[in-house]
Amino acid sequence: MTMTAMPDARRDLGTPAATGTNRVRATIDGIAVDVPEGTSVMRAAREAGVAVPKLCATESLASFGSCRLCLVEIEGRRGMPASCTTPLEPGMVVRTQSPQLARVRRNVMELYISDHPLDCLTCAANGDCELQDMAGVVGLREVRYGYQGANHLDAVADASNPYFTFDPAKCIVCSRCVRACDEIQGTFALTIDGRGFGSVVSAGMDEAFIDSECVSCGACVQACPTATLMEKTVIEHGLPDRVVKTTCAYCGVGCSFRAEMQGNEVVRMVPDMDGGANEGHSCVKGRFAWGYATHKERVLSPMVRERISDPWREVSWDEAFDFAATRLRAIQAEHGRGAIGGISSSRCTNEEVYVVQKMVRAAFANNNIDTCARVCHSPTGYGLKNTFGTSAGTQNFESVAAADVILLIGANPTDAHPVFASRMKRRLREGARLIVADPRRIDLVRSPHVSAAHHLQLQPGTNVALINALAHVVVTEGLVNESFVAERCEAESFQQWRDFIAQPENSPEATAAITGVPAAEVRAAARLYAAGPNSAIYYGLGVTEHSQGSTMVMGIANLAMATGQIGRPGVGVNPLRGQNNVQGSCDMGSFPHELPGYRHIADSTVRGSFESAWNVTLDPEPGFRIPNMFSAAVAGQFRGLYVQGEDIAQSDPDTTHVTRALEALDCLIVQDLFLNETAKYAHVFLPGTSFLEKDGTFTNAERRINRVRPAMPSRTGLAEWEVTCRLATAMGYPMDYPDAAAIMAEIAALTPTFAGVSFERLDRLGSVQWPCTAASPDGTPVMHVDRFVRGEGRFLITRFVPTEERSTRRFPLLLTTGRILSQYNVGTQTRRTGNIAWHPRDVLEIHPSDAELRGVRDGAPLTLASRKGTITLTADITDRVPPGVVYTTFHHPELGANVVTTEYSDWATNCPEYKVTAVEVRPLAVAAPETSASAALEGAGSAT
C-alpha cells in the first residue's frame, strides 16, 4: 500500500476504469481476479489489494508506461511488461514480486534518486511525496552512483504563478503534469522540452508559467507526485491535518473540493475525485481563489447608521436586529405591509435562501421576494417550464461524453464554466462535432485540438431569428423525428408550430439579412444537429439576457423536441448556470409568484400546506419583482429592502436608476462579506459568512444537490440562516432551527421534488440530482426519459421580434458583455485574490475596421457611450468580434459597465437585456482618470 501522511487520502488505482462489458479472469500473485475487459494489470492488482509500485501512473490519466517501477512478470511472456500499460488477458498468470523484479525496481529508484535533491526533511512535499513513498516501498538504501554525476539540481525554480511554484530540480519527468494539462484540462500549455537526460517540463515556448497559456487550473499541481509543482500555501504552512469535503461557491458547475485544513486555516483546496460534477478537476477560481474568505476587508461585526451619510457604528447582533426590525415595522405601519421586501442570493445555500423567502412571506407578510436569478436565468425557468414542465436543465454533466454534436449558444464555457468546458473539450477531441452560435469568436471556435464545424456569428439580439431558421430547415427538409413527436409531444401545438416555422420568413435565406449568418451555414448546421445521433444544446446568458430571452429558450426546446434530441444521455437542453446556486435559489421559492418547487402562490392547496406548516396566513398575490421594487422605491411606495449576498448597485442594469431607488429607501439592510457598492446606501449591515463557514447545500446547473460543509466556524459568530431567523423573530414571527439539516427537512417535507432529500442521504451518496422522491431515491441524472414532466412536450410559437435597442446613427455599434476565466462577476471575491494578476482591468474588444474608423489605438483609453451613460475603458483591437460589435467584461467596479446598459428586459421575466446595448466609441485624448468623474456612474455589468 502507498504510505501517506495525508489525512483521508483516496486510494489511487493507477489507471482509469475500463468500460468493457466482457469480464476477464486471471491470476495475480495467486489471487484470482475478475475485471472488465480492458482493465490494466496494475488496476486489477490494486483492486485485488496488490499494490504494484508506481510513479507515472495515476487513475485520472491514461497509462503512460514511463517510470518502469510497475514492472511485473507474466508467464509465457519475455521480459518485464509494465503493469500499467498491459491489459489483463484471460488466463494470465501475473507475478508482481520476485527477487529480480525487486532488484530492477530498486535500481530504477536508485537512478531517480541519483538526480534528485536529498532535502526530504525540509521539502514541502515531505510526507506527501510519491517518490519518497516509493523509495521506501522498494527498499532503496544507497545510491551507488554517488552524487557527482550529471544532474539538474541547480535548475532554477519558477514562482511566477501567484498560487504555485515549479521547481525543476525536483522534477522526475513523469509527464503527469503535461498529460493532466492535455487530457484533463485540454489546454495543452505544458510540454516536455529537450530529450533524453535533457528532458524538462516547459510551459509554452519555454516561458514563465504566468506568461504561458497556462490557465492555472491546478491539474498539473495535483498530478505532480513530488514537490516540483507545489501550492505556495503548502510551502508556507506545511501539510494539512484534517480534511473537510465541501462545494465550490463560484460558478454553476458546483465542483466538489477537499478543503485541506490546519486547524481553522485552509492550507489548500483540492478537487475531489468523487465529486459528481467535476470528478477531480477544478479551475483557477475554485482551486486557488478562496483567499477572499479571510481578506482583511471582510466585515465581521453588525453595523447600523441613521442616515447613509452617517459613519457606520458597530453594534451587537441584538441591537442590529432590533434596529432593523423597528425600522421595517415602522415602514409597514406607515406605508402598508407591501412597502418592504427582500432579495435572496444565488451565492447562498438552499437553506439560507429558503429562510429568506420564508421570512418575507411569513414575517413581512407579503410576497416581495425576488432573487438575482432574475437578471440571469429567469427565462430558462420560464421557457423550460412551459415546454417541458420543469425549470431546469435536462442532463447531468457526464452526458456530454455521449454527445456526437454539441450546439453551443451564447455561452463561453472555457472562461465561465471551465471545468465543464474541459469535459466538453475531451468529447470534442474524441470526435464530437461542435456548432457555436455567438457574435464573438470564443476560444472553443478554435483552440488546441478543437475546431468548430460551424461558427454562426450572429448579430447580437437576433437569437430567435437564428433558432427559427435552424428549426425551419429541420421542418422543411424532412428532418423532424416524427415518431418522437408523435409519441411524446402535443399534436396540436406541434402542428401549429410546424405551420409557423415553415413560413418563408423563417427560412435561413430570409433571416440571413437579420442575423448576418449565411443561409448555407445555417442549413449545414441544422442538418448536422438533426443528424446526431446524439445532439446536445448548451447555452448561457447569451440566450437569456435579451428582450426575447424566454422566447429563445422556448425556441431551443422546440428544436430539441422536433428532432427527438431529449430524454437520454448525450442529448438535451442544458443551461449553463452562472452562479453556484442559481438553480437552488430558484428551486427554493425565491420568485414573487412561486413557492418552493415552482408552485404558484395562488394555488390554494400548495399555499395551504405552507400556511399550516408555518402557522401563518400567506398573501395569495405575487409580490414585486426586482425592477418593480426599484420603480416603486423611486415612486415612494417601496421603502424597506433586505438584500442578501448581491451587489445590486453594481450588477443590475441602468445603474443611475438603481442608485436613485436605493437612495429613496428608508431602510436598506445589506447582508454581505464586504462593504460593497450597495452597502453605500444601507442603514444596516449584517456580516455574512463565506462558503468555508457555511453548513448547507448548493444545487448546481445539473440539478445536483451538493453538500457545503463548514471548514471553519462562522467568523461572525452566527450562521447566515440564523441571522435571517433572528431578524424574522425580531419582526414578530419566531423562526428557529436547531441546524441546517432541520431546514432541509422542512424543505423536503413541503416540496415534492425534494421529498427524498436529507443531509443524511447526501452525506451517504455524495450528492443527489433532483427530483429525488420515493420513486427516485437516488435522484434523476437525466430528465424526461419516458415522458415529459408536464406530460406531453409542448411547442410554442417563437416569432422573432427585434429588440427596440438597435444601432442608430448616434450609437452605431452594439455592445455585448461576458466574463473572463480568472475573474468572477463584479469581482467582489476574485479581485481580492491573486487572480488579479491575470485581469488587472476591463477592456473593450473592438474590430480593427471599427477602431480605424474612429482613430482608436490598441491599448489606448476610449469612451463608450450609450443613451444611458458614458464610461471609460481600454481598447483591445481584435477580430474576435465582427465589425459593428464591441465586447467587454464587467469585473471591475471602476468600469461601471451597467452605467450604459438599458432598461429593456425579457418580455416574460424582466431579465435585463444586458447583451445588447447600442453604443458609440471615441478615443479619449487625455489619459483617463482612475475612476469616472461621477460617483453615480459607479457600477458594473450583468451578475451571473
Partner 1 sequence: MTTRIYVPGDTTAWSLGADEVETAIVNAITNHGLAAEVVRTGSRGLYWLEPLVEVDSPDGRIGFGPIAPEEVADLFADGKLPTTAHPRSVGIVAEIPFLRDQQRLTFRRAGLIDPLSWSDYQAHGGGEGIRQARESTPQQVIDAVMASGLRGRGGAAFPAGIKWQTVHDTPGDVKYIVCNADEGDSGTFADRLLMESDPFQLIEGMAIAARAVGASQGVIYLRSEYPRTHAVLTTALATAREVGLLGAGAGFDITLFLGAGSYICGEETALLESLEGKRGMVRPKPPLPAREGLHGKPTLVHNVLTLAAATTILADGADQYAGHGLDRSRGTMPFQLGGNVARGGLVEHAFGLTLDALIHDFGGGTRSGRPARAVQVGGPLGAYLPAEQWVTPLAYESYLAIGAMLGHGGVVVFDDTVDMGAQAEFAMQFCAHESCGKCTPCRIGSVRGVELIQQMRRGEEPERHLAVLHELCETLELGSLCALGGLTPMPVRSVINHFPEALHLPAEVISS
Judged by the rule CB under 8 A, the positions of this chain that interact with partner 1 are: 63-68, 71, 79-80, 82, 85-87, 100, 103-104, 107-108, 111-112, 114-115, 144-145, 149-150, 172-173, 175, 191-192, 194-199
Sign (positive or negative) of CA dihedral 731, 736, 742, 746: negative
C-beta of 146 vs 840, nearer to partner 1: 146
CA distance 386 to 407: 22
Angle at alpha carbon of residue 65, lines to 63 and 69, rounded to 5°:
115
The set of residues, in sequence order, having a beta carbon less than 8 Å from that of 431 and lying 6+ positions away, is none
C-beta of 65 vs 532, nearer to partner 1: 65
Q: Are 916 and 546 in contact (CB under 8 A)?
A: yes
C-beta of 112 vs 364, nearer to partner 1: 112
Quick one: three-class SS letters along 225-290?
CCCCEEEHHHHHHCCCCEEEEEECCCCCCCCEEEEEEECCEEEEEEECCCCCCCCCCCCHHHHHCC
C-beta of 360 vs 428, nearer to partner 1: 428
C-beta of 99 vs 504, nearer to partner 1: 99
The backbone torsions φ and ψ at residue 484, rounded to the nearest 5 degrees and listed phi first, read -65, -45
CB of 52 to partner 1, least distance (A): 14
C-beta of 110 vs 322, nearer to partner 1: 110
The cell numbers describing 597, all together, are: 418547487
Q: Using CA atoms in the order 686, 687, 691, 697, what is the torsion angle rounded to 10 degrees? A: -20
CB of 25 to partner 1, least distance (A): 19
The cell numbers describing 217, all together, are: 487550473
CB of 134 to partner 1, least distance (A): 12
C-beta of 100 vs 615, nearer to partner 1: 100
The set of residues, in sequence order, having a beta carbon less than 8 Å from that of 611 and lying 6+ positions away, is 617, 618
The cell numbers describing 118, all together, are: 536529498
CB of 506 to partner 1, least distance (A): 38
CB of 149 to partner 1, least distance (A): 5
CB of 113 to partner 1, least distance (A): 10
C-beta of 188 vs 907, nearer to partner 1: 188
Helix, strand, coil shares, percent, the chain, to 5: 35, 20, 50
CA distance 566 to 817: 30
The cell numbers describing 944, all together, are: 451571473
CA distance 504 to 284: 48
The cell numbers describing 582, all together, are: 442559481
CB of 220 to partner 1, least distance (A): 17
Classify 160 as helix, strand or coil: coil
CB of 922 to partner 1, least distance (A): 46
Sign (positive or negative) of CA dihedral 140, 146, 147, 151: negative
C-beta of 153 vs 785, nearer to partner 1: 153
C-beta of 166 vs 721, nearer to partner 1: 166
CB of 84 to partner 1, least distance (A): 8
Name the helix (H) or strand (E) containing 32. Answer: strand 31-36
C-beta of 149 vs 840, nearer to partner 1: 149
Classify 482 as helix, strand or coil: helix
CA distance 192 to 174: 10
Quick one: three-class SS letters along 51-86?
CCCCCCCCCCCCCCCCCCCCECEECCCCCCCECCCC
Specify the DSSP class assigned to residue 182: I
CB of 104 to partner 1, least distance (A): 5
Q: Are 892 and 899 in contact (CB under 8 A)?
A: no
CB of 418 to partner 1, least distance (A): 25
C-beta of 199 vs 776, nearer to partner 1: 199
Pairing of strands 535-539, 573-575: parallel
Sign (positive or negative) of CA dihedral 111, 115, 120, 124: negative
C-beta of 198 vs 533, nearer to partner 1: 198
Classify 529 as helix, strand or coil: helix
CB of 81 to partner 1, least distance (A): 9
Sheet holding 767-769, edge to edge: 696-699, 704-708, 767-769
Specify the DSSP class assigned to residue 158: B
C-beta of 131 vs 747, nearer to partner 1: 131
CB of 106 to partner 1, least distance (A): 9
CB of 83 to partner 1, least distance (A): 11
CB of 781 to partner 1, least distance (A): 30
Residues making up the chain, counted from first to last: 944
Pairing of strands 767-769, 885-889: unpaired
CA distance 565 to 916: 30
Name the helix (H) or strand (E) containing 604. Answer: helix 604-614
C-beta of 199 vs 656, nearer to partner 1: 199
Q: Are 445 and 436 in contact (CB under 8 A)?
A: yes
CB of 102 to partner 1, least distance (A): 12
User: What does each C-alpha distance from 851 to 132, 889, 890, 900 come to in angstroms?
Assistant: 57, 18, 21, 20
C-beta of 149 vs 478, nearer to partner 1: 149
CB of 118 to partner 1, least distance (A): 16
Q: Are 43 and 59 in contact (CB under 8 A)?
A: yes
